[in-house]
Amino acid sequence: MNFEPAREAMVEKLCQRGVSDPAVLAACRKVPREKFIDANLREFAYGDHPLPIGEDQTITQPYIVALMTQAIELKADDRVLEVGTGSGYAAAVMAEIAAQVFTIERYASLAQVAQQRLKKLGYTNIRLRHGDGTLGWPEEAPFDAIVVAAGGPSVPQEMMQQLKIGGRLLMPVGGVRDQELIRIERTDSHTFEQKNLGRVRCVPLVGERGWAEITPADQGAALTALIRQEAEEFTSIDQFQPDRWLKRVGDARVVLLGEASHGTAEFYRMRARLTRELIERKGFTLVAVEADWPDARLVDNYVQGHSSNLTEWAQHSRFPQWMWRNREVVEFVDWLRQHNQHLQSGNGKVGFYGLDLYSLQASISSVLEWLDDRFPEAAQVARHRYACLTPWQSDPAAYGHAVLTKAYRKCEPAVVERLLVQLAQRSTHRFNGKKAYLDALVNSRVVSNAEHYYRVMYYGSAESWNLRDQHMFDVLQTLLGDTPGAKAVVWEHNSHLGDARATEMSIRGERNLGQLARQAWSNKVYSVGFGTHSGKVAAATRWGGEMEIKTVRPSHERSFERLFHETGMKRFSLPLRQASTELREQLSHPRLQRAIGVIYRPETELASHYFHADLSRQFDEYIWFDETTPVGPLSNRHDLGPPETYPFGL
């Protein structure tokens, strides 16, 4: 496989994220990152994410390597000490710039493999040893630069004394789970100047001058006993007693119900059960889901009694069809319709809404139809603005690529949203046709944000993720603001609803709906995560592929899922916001957490589907099903049309 195009694309992304040092970019362009990971993971070599290398360690994501190498300001004649060799990739990048690199790795197995790789690649200016990096390498001191790849409680004095006058040291400093990247420069024999470069999350610096090593076995027995003591076990979803759960929800205005996969029946059924309780006993009026606005509007017409069946909805579904076109969702939607039938028109009826931004083609049509009916002259303005997107409506990802490569000019659909707002301000149409206006407003926002989304997604940075989640939050905020006293239940993946600040997403500069909701509404938000150990799941192997029933691999031994599995409890709910201080502290230590989207690749599961998280800050509650089953997709098939979604797995 030729990795050069992927390597060049990686370097372009680094430039987009602010890496500007020509020497650093040249080094990243030259070093073959694929050579520093196992062969079965090489297809992921140039993604901007860490990858497993053994001993529960990872090869650092390219951006962090480049950022730290740039921040240390290497010169051609520098002698550099690196603490935490890992795969050897960062040492190789620095060796392309500096005269000599000394690197220390505390795991013998990793040191041996890295040594072999570096030798095979011809690096003669790198010396590697196995040992405690927290003590530095005094025999080779002083150094022009010291780079520490792991986070410690403080900078060891031994390292600071091994700097030359004018030497620089870079190290993450703080707690076990969160640190600040500190840059220290030695100005004379007794003086050091310090600068904070921002928040990071790195693996703990273990050693005599760092953290003591705590293995999962050390924590396991006591922690599982704590979980068993505080968890609320239930025998089945039907037998779940919601009273204590509803009391914990309290006066929350927004309840976020997650899922650890898009194809697990138990997650859908439990969310439906909890949502029914919130509607009937706490007066919730909105169900907002990770689906496109036009498709969800068809469902809403059904639950509001404006249409007699869901045929239209099925016809408009696109990949992944099973995510919403399944028996579990239909059962809930039928219940919602029956619930609304017993209510007077406009008096507490529950709506069903989509928050996502992928419906470019359908949303353009909806906006133009609304304007044609009410403001024909404004419709012409909108057509002119949307004309730029017309050739790409069936394949918006191609539009993004064309703009990126400068083969096509950028469109400006945002103008239409401003036009709609202006029209509403000087007319009574909003109040005479409030629902239709809301459709037009949200659809125009979808078009504007989708255009931006498809332009930035090729950069592979946090911007595309952030734009999507910001859009979903903005639509949710619009729905809540549009109806006085409204309360919303949100169904999305854990990765969208758990607070991103408590996961490694924050280190990549990513935020999500859960974080935005918490920042906006504080404790008026109650978030619930879901998880499983093993079973079956409905998922595809590749984007646009056929749905398959796949076996979920037993959870990783260092994951939260394995911890919950070892309690021996089949189903339980674990209150986190009201948990004991001891349990919250134990669960705050970062562990792996699994995330299966519409794509599931068991053969690369650790790289593809796990990330680190602090569970006690991520969710207010966690619901566990030890073994799970796949959703039941609807058997009828229709002309589904071309997929409009871009292959994000979540």
Kindly report the three-state secondary structure assignment for every residue of 615-643. HHHHCCEEEEEEEECECCECCCCCCCCCC
Determine contact, residues 286/346, Cβ cutoff 8 Å.
no
Burial of 9 (0-12, 13-18, 19+ CB in 10 A): middle
**pLDDT value at residue 143:** 97
Domain boundary among 200, 233, 255: 200
CATH of the domain at 180: 3.40.50.150
Domain boundary among 457, 485, 513: 485
Q: Which spans in 72-210 are helix H?
A: 89-95, 108-120, 157-161
Is residue 86 in some structural domain?
yes
Is residue 221 in some structural domain?
no
Contacts of 222 (CB under 8 A, 6+ apart): 586
| pLDDT tens by residue, 571-604 | 999 999 999 999 998 898 878 899 999 999 998 8
Domain boundary among 485, 507, 525: 485
Angle at 479 between CA 475 and CA 480, to 5 degrees: 120
Q: Tokens standing for 620? A: 């207010």
Smallest Cα–Cα separation from 364: which of 416, 322, 400?
A: 416
User: Which residues are bridge partners to 593 per DSSP?
Assistant: 611
Taking the complete model, does pTM exceed 0.85, yes or no? Answer: no
Is residue 182 in some structural domain?
yes
Asked whether the CA dihedral 535, 560, 214, 582 is positive or negative, the reply is negative
Is residue 295 in some structural domain?
no
**pLDDT value at residue 375:** 86
Is residue 130 in some structural domain?
yes
Parent domain of 475: 357-485
Q: What is the rounded distance in angstroms from the CA atom of residue 479 to the CA atom of residue 483?
A: 7
Stretches in the chain below the pLDDT threshold 70: 176-178, 213-219, 310-318, 344-347, 393-394, 400-401, 403-409, 424-433, 458-461, 635-650
Mean pLDDT taken over the chain: 87
Q: What is the rounded distance in angstroms from the CA atom of residue 284 to the CA atom of residue 80?
A: 60
Report the percent of the chain where pLDDT is more than 70: 89
Smallest Cα–Cα separation from 80: which of 5, 162, 201?
A: 162
Burial of 331 (0-12, 13-18, 19+ CB in 10 A): middle
Bridge-based pairing of strands 163-174 and 143-148 is parallel
**pLDDT value at residue 540:** 93
> Could you tell me how many residues make up the chain?
650
Phi then psi dihedrals of residue 519, to 5 deg? -70, -30
Structurally, the chain folds into a number of domains equal to: 2
Is residue 41 in some structural domain?
yes
Q: Tokens standing for 225? A: 């006993």
CA atoms within 13 A on the CB side of 319: 21
Q: Tokens standing for 252? A: 């929350």
Is residue 637 in some structural domain?
no
Phi then psi dihedrals of residue 410, to 5 deg? -75, 140
DSSP string, 206-259: BSTTSBPP--HHHHHHHHHHHHHHH-EE-S-TTT---HHHHHHHTT-SEEEE--
| pLDDT tens by residue, 232-259 | 999 999 999 999 999 999 999 999 999 9
| pLDDT tens by residue, 158-213 | 999 999 999 999 999 987 666 889 999 999 999 999 999 888 777 788 888 887 76
In single-letter form, the type of residue at position 625 comes to F
Smallest Cα–Cα separation from 66: which of 54, 74, 57?
A: 74
Q: What is the rounded distance in angstroms from the CA atom of residue 526 to the CA atom of residue 518?
A: 9
Residue found by looking up tokens 């009410």 in the block: 374
Is residue 150 in some structural domain?
yes
Q: What is the rounded distance in angstroms from the CA atom of residue 44 to the CA atom of residue 271?
A: 33
3-state helix, strand, coil in the chain (%, to 5): 45, 20, 35
